[in-house]
Chains A and B, each alone.
Chain A
Amino acid sequence: MGIASKVLGLVFAAIGFIVLWWGMGTSGPLTYVWTFLGMFVMASGFALLTSGRQQKEVKPPPPTVTEIRCNSCDFKEIRDFQKGDYVLKTVEASCPKCQASMTIEGVYIVREEPDDKDKI
């Protein structure tokens, strides 16, 4: 549902409200008819406004990364996960800083922190 339907829904809801208000305020033989008609038009308007509500966008999962650390100095490298990586695996490449061997210290994802609106 696009913006047109939302605008139409808003117009319907407004017209329905006016008809309902007017119907309730009169005392003629058609009071009930106007009241129900107003309610019906207003309900249709709200239905149009709320229908086809966009589903929560499904976010793609965060990328899995591999953290490699040098076994003797503080060198650390983080790269995308590659098939065959596992934690505590000794990688073939040596440390670019000190030429020592390096180990995969972690394979993980970093998820976004959830909203703290419910934090109690």
Chain B
Amino acid sequence: MQLGETSELGVLVNIGFFAFIIIFSLYGAKFQMWQWLKQIEAGLHELKRMFIESRQTAIDTFKEFGRSEEEVAKDLDRWMDYFTIMPVDLDPAGILKRLDHLLDERRDRFQEFVAEIAPESAESMNQNLENTLEVTQVLGLIFRVVRHFYLLGKKTGSQIMIMQIQMQMPDLLRLAKAYFDALSAFSQGKPIGDGIGPLVVTKFAREYGGTPENYNHEISREVGYYKVEAEGRTVYALRATGPGGTVGKPGFAVKKLVDEFGDKVTRIITIDAALKLEGEELGRVSEGTGAAIGDLGPEKHAMEQTATERGIGIEAIVIKEDEAAAVGVMDKRILDAVPEVIERIKTSILKRTKPGDSVILAGIGNTIGIGL
């Protein structure tokens, strides 16, 4: 029996065959959309689970500091929608100053909220609670944005919208999982991978006599420094003040230090965690030129501007990490990179500065769980 045969069964088979082709050519895309929507739905359920569990963890953490679970839950839900409007960039003049102002204002509001919701918490714990709040907020935001595109794509039947969200889903899930896994670190005050910069700076300073007692507080918001003599040079080793979770404003601290100690500063060395490429080893140390700081702009600008105006050499030593390691509890391989980074700092100081010079060593990162 062949296609095109005129027997009764042959006609039926022909009809079935052509119906199959017509249905799939007309509705193939619909089938695919249905498949994509199912995949997005599965991802959305996972995102929702992570958000709900992180919200509960945040509630459990906050309720230990003086308010009832109901009060905390109510206030937390109100705060989940908190947003920051980026400054207008049609007229870019002065945008960094405006952005810095908005970020300060945002930070003030976060601190105010945490003080309200956890009245019995100490200052360093307040910073950890702020971080916990931010992680919960990020997970809520990812869930709500994905849900928005899923529902909108379904409503409008927009294939491109659904396709984009389906293709981005593995990445979004990976990011959300990294933050979700990090929540216990933030709520319990454990050091995270991003804190390697401040840790290196403190260990370096301690080698040359730096102690919590001779740490100079608040050169800029939540940032201080040790003044130590190393290899015949004066080193201003600055970092955000821990062990609470904060990154502070290290860019402006560098600017202030240079303004204060001016001409003697001949080199700025920044230490930070940097995203590793897939295939690279976790904790690998790399160095380069420029300011290693991953803020939205104002801090990095302050450092670059200061270095450029005064003709100061600026270099970066970074420790390679993936997203999960950067926001999760510090991995042993990251901690093991500390001696190598300190060696590279010493080499840089010896090679590129002269005895009597001053050097600024800036440890950039979140100081959660890292003491002075």
Contacts and interface: CB of A to CB of B under 8 A. Distances in A.
A68 B25 CA distance: 68
B190 A64 contact: yes
Given A88-B202, A120-B279, A107 B369 contact: yes
A64 B370 contact: no
A80 to B, nearest CB: 12
A106 B202 CA distance: 13
A57 B243 CA distance: 35
Contacts of A40: none
B189 interface: yes
Interface string B168-208: 00000000000001001000111100000001001100100
Contacts of A110: 331-332
B190 A89 contact: no
Nearest to A109: B329
A89 B188 CA distance: 15
Interface in A11-59: 27-33
Interface in A92-120: 104, 106-111, 118-120
A79 interface: no
Contacts of B334: 108
A83 B331 contact: no
Nearest to B206: A88
Interface in B317-343: 328-335
Range of interface residues on B (Cβ < 8 Å): 20 to 34
A2 interface: no
A104 B328 CA distance: 19
Contact of B330 (A27, A88, A104, A109): A109
B331 A87 contact: no
A85 B9 CA distance: 80
A108 B13 contact: no
**Considering residues A31, A83, A87, which has the most beta carbons from chain B within 10 angstroms of its beta carbon?**
A87
A83 B243 contact: no
A117 to B, nearest CB: 12
A32 B1 contact: yes
B146 interface: no
Interface of chain A, helix or strand or loop or mixed? Answer: loop
Given A32-B13, A87-B191, A107 B372 contact: no
B188 A87 contact: no
Contacts of A111: 331-333
A88 B206 CA distance: 10
B7 interface: yes
A28 B9 CA distance: 11
A29 B330 contact: no
B13 A81 contact: no
**Considering residues B202, B330, B334, which has the most beta carbons from chain A within 10 angstroms of its beta carbon?**
B330
Interface string B277-310: 0010000000000000000000000000000000
Interface of A: 27-33, 61, 64, 81, 83-89, 104, 106-111, 118-120
8 contacts: A64-B190, A81-B188, A83-B188, A86-B191, A89-B243, A107-B190, A108-B329, A108-B332
Given A29-B7, A87-B191, A108-B335, 20 more contacts: A28-B1, A29-B9, A30-B9, A32-B1, A32-B13, A61-B329, A81-B190, A87-B369, A88-B370, A107-B190, A107-B329, A108-B329, A108-B330, A108-B334, A109-B332, A110-B331, A111-B331, A111-B332, A118-B279, A120-B279
Q: 8 tightest CB-CB pairs across the interface, nearest first?
A: A88-B371, A86-B243, A86-B369, A110-B332, A108-B332, A108-B330, A87-B370, A86-B371
Interface of B: 1, 7, 9, 13, 181, 184, 188-191, 199, 202-203, 206, 242-243, 279, 328-335, 369-372
